[in-house]
């Protein structure tokens, strides 16, 4: 059986790795080994930070809501959310935070209904 050398496949793999690492600093964009390490690490961070992004945005919405709720005469964010649930409102924190920051008059009407 003839010997099969992997030159073409190896070159293709190297080219793909270096193409994906383009823009990285130093040898991470020039040398295959360092580029591969950087890509593996970047992949791990991107997975973890996709999960963290959801938590970060929820915290941001809560902070915005708390400020708007206090401006509209309620005691705190937690009591406002409890009253929302008790009155059967089906608006989530994202929508409420958008109303609070972009359309405060609509949020004021919602907060008056919640009392």
Structure confidence at residue 91 (pLDDT)? 87
Within the chain, which residues score under 70 in pLDDT? none
| Domains recognised in the chain with CATH numbers | 7-114 (1.10.1900.20)
- What pLDDT was estimated at residue 5? 82
d(CA 101, CA 44): 34
pLDDT for position 43: 95
pLDDT tens sequence across 22-47? 999 999 999 999 999 999 999 999 99
B/e letters for 80-111, b = 16+ CB within 10 Å, e = fewer, are bbeebeeeeeeeebeebbebbeeeeeebbebb
Predicted pLDDT at 1: 78
């Amino acid at each position: 059986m003839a010997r099969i050398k992997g030159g073409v496949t190896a070159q293709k793999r190297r080219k793909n790795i270096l193409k994906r690492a383009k823009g990285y600093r130093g040898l991470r964009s020039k040398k295959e080994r360092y580029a591969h390490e950087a890509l593996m690490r970047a992949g791990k961070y991107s997975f973890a930070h996709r999960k963290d992004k959801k938590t970060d945005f929820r915290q941001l919405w809560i902070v915005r809501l708390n400020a708007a709720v206090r401006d509209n005469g309620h005691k705190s964010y937690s009591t406002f959310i409890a009253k929302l649930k008790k009155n059967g409102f089906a608006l989530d924190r994202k929508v409420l935070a958008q109303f609070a920051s972009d359309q405060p008059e609509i949020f004021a009407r919602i907060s008056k209904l919640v009392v």
